[in-house]
């Protein structure tokens, strides 16, 4: 049986192999019922390391994939209800991904709270990462690996159901084709007007072809329908925000449900943010279709597109 201690040990076993010069972090995602245990360190995707380099920012994003996110995009079975172990307290961006991937329990090595690295960043952990976990209904524990004891940090009531204003939309298709892709894009354009959205054609666990559409939205558990909360959610804290961009939502939703992206059928109505583009590469996706190549949330995303396109790390059409 995989216990949180075994899964944490699997992460600790590889943490020193992280290519990051300072902050070496590792994570494991495991599920007893689905029968998987996957571990990764934080790292640079091979194509970014080779063709762009580890010292260059992609737009305004680092070229690294965090350990937690790397695990979540490397599991072919559904991650919904699974557990995650991590050597260090998780950042807000990973918190959003973990929430969207449907993770139920997070275990943090207690020693991670004592590192200088964490002491410098503990503000974001309390004000964002833990808030995101709580709203999404994720239990959080610290693990003491020496005494094999579990210290609860956050326990969510069993019957808690997070709010979801803007769930991912599904449309079943007879098959994946350029024509079906184009008509899914046209339908979403009509519905979402000039709002940013993304579409992925996937094969689900039953072998059916589905068109999935996601809009940029507050992370699961936050509502945009109450004005006070929407204002709170829209306000970024330093480089982080409570908004989950549509490509990130789709990538994590694919993990949640065990869907497989059908090669070549990923669309975004505008240029994704720098972080979304790095995550696309981290998820081993090589091609994306963009609606409006002049439009982006910020100029960094446009710069990231030029870097990744020039280096032929990602194909844009």
Assess 91 for contact with Zn ion (CB under 5 A).
Answer: yes
Q: Which residue matches tokens 């690295």?
A: 117
Task: Tell me how far, at minimum, the Cβ of 26 lies from Zn ion, in Å.
Answer: 12
Distance CA 269, CA 97 (A): 21
Assess 82 for contact with Zn ion (CB under 5 A).
Answer: no
Question: Closer CB to Zn ion, residue 84 or residue 304?
Answer: 84
Distance CA 118, CA 37 (A): 26
Which own/partner contact pairs does 231-240 have at CB distance under 8 Å and 24+ positions apart? Answer: 237/92, 237/124, 237/127, 237/128, 238/124, 239/60, 240/91, 240/92, 240/93, 240/124, 240/128
Using alpha carbons, list the distances in angstroms from residue 150 to 5, 110, 184, 191, 225: 9, 9, 47, 47, 37
Assess 66 for contact with Zn ion (CB under 5 A).
Answer: yes
Task: Tell me how far, at minimum, the Cβ of 243 lies from Zn ion, in Å.
Answer: 16
Instruction: Report the DSSP beta bridge partners of residue 139.
Output: 105
Assess 278 for contact with Zn ion (CB under 5 A).
Answer: no
Assess 48 for contact with Zn ion (CB under 5 A).
Answer: no
| Residue 93 main-chain phi, psi, to 5 deg | -65, -40
Distance CA 128, CA 111 (A): 21
Calculated CA dihedral for residues 229, 233, 236, 239, nearest 10 degrees: 150
| Residue 8 main-chain phi, psi, to 5 deg | -65, -40
| Residue 132 main-chain phi, psi, to 5 deg | -65, -45
Give the range of 88-96, 175-183, 184-192, 302-310 binding Zn ion by CB under 5 A: 88-96
Question: Closer CB to Zn ion, residue 97 or residue 270?
Answer: 97
Q: What are the E-state strand segments in 138-219? A: 139-144, 149-154, 169-173, 197-203, 209-215, 217-218
**Total residues contacting Zn ion (rule CB under 5 A)?**
3
Q: Is 212 left (phi over 0), alpha (psi -120 to 50) or beta?
A: beta
Give the range of 90-98, 160-168, 214-222, 258-266 binding Zn ion by CB under 5 A: 90-98
Task: Tell me how far, at minimum, the Cβ of 99 lies from Zn ion, in Å.
Answer: 13
Task: Tell me how far, at minimum, the Cβ of 34 lies from Zn ion, in Å.
Answer: 23
Q: Which of 8, 10, 94, 138 binds Zn ion (CB under 5 A)?
A: 94
Task: Tell me how far, at minimum, the Cβ of 67 lies from Zn ion, in Å.
Answer: 7
Question: Closer CB to Zn ion, residue 91 or residue 314?
Answer: 91
Give the range of 92-100, 115-123, 255-263, 266-274 binding Zn ion by CB under 5 A: 92-100
Task: Tell me how far, at minimum, the Cβ of 193 lies from Zn ion, in Å.
Answer: 33
Question: Closer CB to Zn ion, residue 91 or residue 106?
Answer: 91
Task: Tell me how far, at minimum, the Cβ of 97 lies from Zn ion, in Å.
Answer: 8
Task: Tell me how far, at minimum, the Cβ of 69 lies from Zn ion, in Å.
Answer: 6
Question: Closer CB to Zn ion, residue 94 or residue 296?
Answer: 94
Binding-site ranges for Zn ion (CB under 5 A) = 66, 91, 94
């Amino acid at each position: 049986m995989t216990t949180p201690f075994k899964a944490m040990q699997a992460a600790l076993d590889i943490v020193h192999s992280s290519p990051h010069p300072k902050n070496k972090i590792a994570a494991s995602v495991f599920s007893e019922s689905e029968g998987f245990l996957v571990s990764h360190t934080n790292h640079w995707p091979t194509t970014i390391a080779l063709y762009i380099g580890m010292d260059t920012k992609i737009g305004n994003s680092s070229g690294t994939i965090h350990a937690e996110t790397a695990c979540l995009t490397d599991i072919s079975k559904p991650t919904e209800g699974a557990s995650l172990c991590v050597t260090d307290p998780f950042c807000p961006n990973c918190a959003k991904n973990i929430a969207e991937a449907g993770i139920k329990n997070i275990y943090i090595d207690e020693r991670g709270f004592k590192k200088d690295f964490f002491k410098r960043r503990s503000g974001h952990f309390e004000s964002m990462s833990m808030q995101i976990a709580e709203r999404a209904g994720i239990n959080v524990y610290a693990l003491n690996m020496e005494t094999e004891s579990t210290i609860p940090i956050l326990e969510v009531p069993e019957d808690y159901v997070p709010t979801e204003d803007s769930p991912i939309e599904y449309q079943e298709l007879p098959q994946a084709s350029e024509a079906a892709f184009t008509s899914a894009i046209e339908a979403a354009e009509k519905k979402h007007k000039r709002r940013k959205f993304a579409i992925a054609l996937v094969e689900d666990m039953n072998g059916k072809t589905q068109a999935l559409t996601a809009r940029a939205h507050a992370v699961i558990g936050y509502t945009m329908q109450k004005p006070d909360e929407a204002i709170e959610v829209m306000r970024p804290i330093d480089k982080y925000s409570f908004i989950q961009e549509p490509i990130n939502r789709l990538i994590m939703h694919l993990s949640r449900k065990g869907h497989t992206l059908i090669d070549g059928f990923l669309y975004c109505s505008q240029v994704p943010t720098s972080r979304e583009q790095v995550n696309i590469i981290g998820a081993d996706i090589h091609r994306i279709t963009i609606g409006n190549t002049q439009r982006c949330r910020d100029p960094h995303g446009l710069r990231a597109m030029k870097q990744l396109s020039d280096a032929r790390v990602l194909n844009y059409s």
